[in-house]
Chains A and B, each alone.
Chain A
Amino acid sequence: MKPLHIIVCVKPVPDFRSPVEFDQKTKTVKRGNVATVINPLDKNALEAALQLKESFGGKVTALSMAPPFAESVLREVLAFGADEAFLLSDPAFAGSDTLATAYVLAQGVKKIRDFDLVITGAASTDGNTAQVGPQVAEHLGLPHASFVTQVKRHSEHSLELTLKTEEGTILAEIDLPALITVSREINEPRTLGLFGIAAAAAKPLHILGSSDLEVDPERVGEKGSPTRIADIREVSFARKSELHEGTPEAISLLVKKFREWGVI
């Protein structure tokens, strides 16, 4: 079977272990002092791409739209085994919602060219919309499948996929070129090796801006984003909020309450 050129879309996200700060003025998440990591599901996407490359040969190209500081994240992706990386970075892209982000990524995919498959994580830990994958596919006119838990080569020009549903799974066939988004169950991402880290330094990492891509300025950033955050509200709760120190008394009182509430 012919080798595959796979593009993996990767999103740098704030590490969930660090507290998330919100800027009330700009109504955006403050990213300044938060550690940036590879979105966990994008690691599964990368692993799926690397495994397909190991089976059929070919190439894995990483693609990301992020501020310049995300270069380190892409360097890490190269250390995991990707062959080349593209970081799409331009102040004009700031404030992009899912539609505009997907448009920029699609223009990046067009720039990379000659691909067979695009893989991305089903959702990111920060935005968590699960929208960018299907939208990149639509911008490129590709078929897509979301929440993939298993991928096999079905024929020279198609894949056999297992997709998650509420009741179980669906077995589907998708023609290449295509875009798939993957779920955690698809694989166990490999760990970073010293050899990979050493090799990554020599691999090509390109940083491209608006002028390097064919982007319509009306379709990127805030201008190209149909959604707006109209308001942010604090959610209040009407509960008792009885607070106790972790003493044996507090625990027996709790067990008494369990009786009262009829749960034991």
Chain B
Amino acid sequence: MIALLRRDLRLAVRAGGGFGLGLAFFLIVIVLVPFGVGPETEILTRIAPGILWVASLLAALLSLDRIFALDYEDGSLALLATSPLPLEGAALMKALAHWISTGLPLTIAAPALGFLLSLAPEAYGFLLMSLLIGTPALSMIGTFGAALTVGLRRGGLLLSLLVLPLYVPTLIFGAEAVRRGANGLDATGALVLLGAVTAGAFALLPFATAATLRINLR
């Protein structure tokens, strides 16, 4: 299973688009927001948690359709399905590789971009923590969505429509944790629920993803 993770990360680095693309998109969205809403710091401070979370959601969405589509096209997916590697494990590794190449860089870059939106100083820790807990769920749910649309040509749009509603709980709890942190309130509840969504996604979705892939490969 580690071999698959290593290969996917290597491909993400070499083929480009993996590491850079999502991060650059995140950066641009965050930079564009002050142009759109104006430079008043109080407004930016108030909307910063939500904007940062929505932007990381969209950035994670950007590279989802590549998770299985490339392997499907060049035949590796059928070969992986007939290999001794359990498809559930492959799904988990795919999600993990997606998180390392998208979610993790976003998490690390987010505090710097929070500065651009004049995020409240107390909120930085919560931003980092909520993204660290929440973004793995984005990758896992997205992997499931990618498996659903794997056989379709131009399934990218359908994938977004399928996956974005499933991102709602993560978005609500993630942004809420940062907002509460910014206002000096107790954010434990939101963080715990955020963690619950992630844990649930990782407990159930590898199996759902593998079942979906088996049906799509028939």
Q: Is B truly associated with A?
A: no
Instruction: Give the interface of A toward B (CB within 8 A).
Output: none
